[in-house]
Amino acid sequence: MIVTDPVVAAMPAFAAIADSLRAHALPFVLYTECDVNPTDVQIDRGRDVYARERCDAIVGVGGGSNLDSAKSIGVVARNPGSIRDYFVPSYVTDPYGIKNALRIPPTIVLPTTAGTGSEVCGWTVVTHTGEHYKGFCGGWTAIPDVALLDPDLTVCMPPALTASTGFDALMHAIEAYYHRYAMAQTDMFALSAMGRIVRHLPRAVADGRDMEARGEMLLAAMEAGLAMNTGCALVHAMGLPLTVEYGLAHGETLAVMAGPVFRHNAQAVPARMGAIARALGAADHSGRGAADAIQAFARGLGLPTALDPKRHDPARIPAMAKQALANDNTRGNPVIPDLPGFEALYREAYAGRL
C-alpha cells in the first residue's frame, strides 16, 4: 500500500514511483487520506484498507505527516484495536513503555520535505479526535526499514516551506544536542546536521533547484532525525501551543521560541550552548550568542522571531504555559521552568511589544 496525499500523488515525481512498481509487476493500492495533522480516524481507515486489500508492505511518500500516517497505519496493521489504543503519555521519559509490541510491516519511506526526520524516527504525531489533542504513537517498533532520500522529490517545495521545514530540522539537531538524555552517538549526528543546515538551507531557500543544497538538506534532516530519537525539548514543547492557539506553522513556532529558550538554557549548559553558537557562526560563543545567532538565521530565511500582540492574543499565555508544562518534551530540557517561568518565556517571545 502506498500512503500519501492527493497533492503529492499528483506530482510528476510520484508518477515515477508508481511506474517503477508497475514495471516490476508489484501491484499496489493507493491510500491518499492523509492530512497535515493526521487523525486517528484516517489512520484506522487506512488500516482497514490495508487489511481488505491484503497488503504486505507499506510505502510512505510525502512530508512528515504522510510518513507518520504510513508508520501509524503499520502499527495497527500488526497490532489489534485502534491507533487510539497506542498513544503514549511519556515518549521522552519512558520510550519503551509502548503497547504495540509487534513491529510494523516492511516499510519504505520517501520524504518530499527536508525537515521532520520522520523517515528514521519511530515516533508519530496523531490527533486524537475523541479527546481533541495531538499525541505520540509508535516507538522503536515503528522505525521504517528503508528511507530513500531523493532530492528530486523536494524541488517543488516553495521557499517558505523549505525554510520552515529546514528550520525544524535544525531545531531537532540543536535540541537533541542540549537534551537531558543526549549521548555520544546523538551528538555526532546533531553536530553534523547543524553544520549542513547552516551551510545549505539558505541556498535551498534562495534557489529550489540547487540540487546540491537539496541533497545536503535531506542528509541533514535524516541526521537530525537520528539525533532526535533522544526526544525534543523546550522549544518544541512551547511551540506546539502556538500552532493550536494561533495557527502558526510548526517551523514558525520554533523560530519564535528559539531565542527565549536559548537564553533560558544559557547558564545550565554553557559548553553545549557555546558549541551551538559556533555551529551557527556566532562571534559570541555563549548561550546569548547562540540565541542572537539563531534569531538572525531565522530572519534571514524569512521566518518570524517574535509574536505580535495584535494578531497573537497575550491572554492565551496562561493556557499555553500549562500546555507546555504538561508536554513530555519539556522533560528533556536541561533546566525546566515552573509555570510562572513558562509564562515569562512566552511574554519574552513578544520581544518587548507587551
Model pLDDT for residues 278-301, shown as the tens digit of each residue: 999 999 999 999 999 999 999 999
The per-residue pLDDT for 131 is 84
Mean pLDDT value of segment 3-29:
95
The per-residue pLDDT for 149 is 97
The per-residue pLDDT for 79 is 97
Question: Where do the H-state alpha helices sit in 149-304?
Answer: 159-177, 184-206, 211-227, 234-246, 250-265, 270-279, 287-300
3-state secondary structure of 27: coil
Mean pLDDT value of segment 71-97:
89
- Among 126-130, 175-179, 263-267, the least confident range: 126-130
The per-residue pLDDT for 60 is 98
The per-residue pLDDT for 37 is 83
The per-residue pLDDT for 256 is 98
Residue 222 has pLDDT above 80, yes or no: yes
The per-residue pLDDT for 89 is 79
- Band of pLDDT at residue 343, cut at 50, 70 and 90: very high
Three cell numbers at 182? 543526549
How remote is the C-alpha of 170 from its chain's centroid?
Answer: 10
CATH topology of domain 2-152: Rossmann fold (3.40.50)
The per-residue pLDDT for 47 is 98
- Band of pLDDT at residue 238, cut at 50, 70 and 90: very high
For residues 246 and 229, the answer to whether their CB atoms sit within 8 Å is no
CATH class of 158-348: mainly alpha
State how far the Cα of 329 lies from the Cα of 257, in Å rounded to an integer: 14
Model pTM above 0.85? yes
- Band of pLDDT at residue 67, cut at 50, 70 and 90: very high
Three cell numbers at 257? 521560541
State how far the Cα of 86 lies from the Cα of 83, in Å rounded to an integer: 5
Residue 91 has pLDDT above 80, yes or no: no
The per-residue pLDDT for 231 is 87
- Helix, strand, coil shares of the chain as percentages rounded to 5? 55, 10, 35
State how far the Cα of 224 lies from the Cα of 327, in Å rounded to an integer: 21
The per-residue pLDDT for 133 is 76
Three cell numbers at 77? 496493521
Question: Where do the H-state alpha helices sit in 24-150?
Answer: 40-52, 64-78
Residue 246: Cβ within 10 Å count: 17
The per-residue pLDDT for 209 is 96
State how far the Cα of 173 lies from the Cα of 165, in Å rounded to an integer: 13
Minimal CA–CA distance to 177: which of 167, 185, 187, 192? 187
Minimal CA–CA distance to 86: which of 43, 147, 32, 57? 43
3-state secondary structure of 245: helix
In the chain, the amino acid numbered 353 is R
Three cell numbers at 208? 529550489
Residue 90 has pLDDT above 80, yes or no: no
The per-residue pLDDT for 69 is 97
What's the pLDDT tens digit per position in 131-168? 877 788 999 999 999 999 999 999 999 999 999 999 99
Mean pLDDT value of segment 87-93:
80
- What separation in angstroms does the CA of 296 have from each of 135, 198, 202, 335, 337? 32, 12, 12, 24, 25
What's the pLDDT tens digit per position in 258-272? 999 999 999 999 999
Residue in this structure with the C-alpha cell 524516527, named with its chain if needed: 121
Mean pLDDT value of segment 16-41:
94
Mean pLDDT value of segment 90-96:
75
Q: Residue ranges of the domains in the chain?
A: 2-152, 158-348
Same fold, 2-152 and 158-348: no
Q: How many helical (H) and strand (E) elements, i.e. helices and strands, does the chain have?
A: 13, 7
State how far the Cα of 117 lies from the Cα of 231, in Å rounded to an integer: 12
Tell whether the torsion through CA atoms of 123, 190, 335 and 163 is positive or negative: negative
Mean pLDDT value of segment 223-238:
94
What are the residues facing 135 on neighbouring strands? Answer: 126
In the chain, the amino acid numbered 91 is Y
The proportion of the chain whose per-residue pLDDT surpasses 70, expressed as a percent, equals: 100
Tell whether the torsion through CA atoms of 170, 171, 176 and 179 is positive or negative: positive
Q: β-strand 58-62 against 30-31: which pairing, if any?
A: unpaired
State how far the Cα of 351 lies from the Cα of 347, in Å rounded to an integer: 8
- Among 35-39, 64-68, 131-135, the least confident range: 131-135
The per-residue pLDDT for 68 is 96
Minimal CA–CA distance to 233: which of 292, 192, 273, 280? 273
Tell whether the torsion through CA atoms of 252, 264, 116 and 302 is positive or negative: positive
The per-residue pLDDT for 219 is 98
For residues 142 and 123, the answer to whether their CB atoms sit within 8 Å is yes
Whole-number average pLDDT of the chain:
95
Residue 192: Cβ within 10 Å count: 18
Q: Which residue has the higher pLDDT, 32 or 249?
A: 32
In the chain, the amino acid numbered 354 is L
The per-residue pLDDT for 135 is 83
Q: In what order do the strands lie in the sheet with 146-147?
A: 30-31, 2-3, 58-62, 107-111, 146-147
